[in-house]
Amino acid sequence: MDIKGIAAIVTGGGSGLGAATAQLLAAQGAIVTILDRDTIAGECMAAKTGAYFAECDVTSEEGVRSALEASEARHGIARILVNCAGISDLIRTVDDTGKPHALEAFRRIIDINLIGTFNMLSQFAARLSSVEPIGEERGVIINTSSIAAFDGIAGQAAYGASKSAIVGMCLPIARDLAPLKIRVVAIAPGTFLSPMVEALPQQYKDALAAGVPHPSRLGRTEEFARFVEAIISTPMANGTSIRLDGAARLQ
């Protein structure tokens, strides 16, 4: 699919991987809508890229519906969706004092990372199903998983579960949407220089970078965005989850 002139939606587009993706898609001529709960970051990135911003809680069925309607009113039905909205936390199943993992904290990560991703993609695909295909496809959905889906570290029970589920639902959803000519791909990035990682002390960032075989550094958000671009432009990329981690394996 040629990106130029195509309406695209990026969730979590106010910062990190989502912001880099929104910037690249806009630079390639896409008509971008940024969705984010952070109105300041979202509006700032929209102004920077020429995108439209809509505040959106991806866990809300009505909130997603309203955001998609607002985007559609401005840009028409989008053919590209990149789901980058997500959160992370390090909470052990049982902490040093013998206290169990708070169920509400576990549920919150699942709600945003997994249910929010599905809520967005299902409503997006339903709207996209009504438009005519361009060539052999109507559009593409790209979800963000993580290498924590495969080898999560201690304290990532909730995060690893949410990201594993994004991998697990990729193929079934791709098969569901194949008759509609909509592709679905998941990217599982390693440790990238997102705002959360940027805030870590330098010694921690150095240790994370040392665990990446090659190139031995942290990922750059623009590399994730270029990978998104490659998937969009490659029709046979469908129903698969792809690691983007420099061969890193978490210990």
For the annotated catalytic residues, the residue numbers are 159
CA distance 43 to 33: 11
d(CA 6, CA 80) in angstroms, rounded, equals 8
Q: Are strands 31-36 and 139-144 parallel, antiparallel or unpaired?
A: unpaired
74: which 2 tokens?
């401005």
Tell me 134's DSSP state.
Answer: B
Token code pair at residue 90: 């390090």
Strand residue runs (E) in the chain: 7-11, 31-36, 52-55, 80-83, 139-144, 182-189, 240-244
Q: What is the CA radius of gyration of the chain?
A: 18
C-alpha 169: how far from chain center = 14
What are the residues facing 7 on neighbouring strands? 31
Q: Which residues pair with 244 in a beta bridge?
A: 189
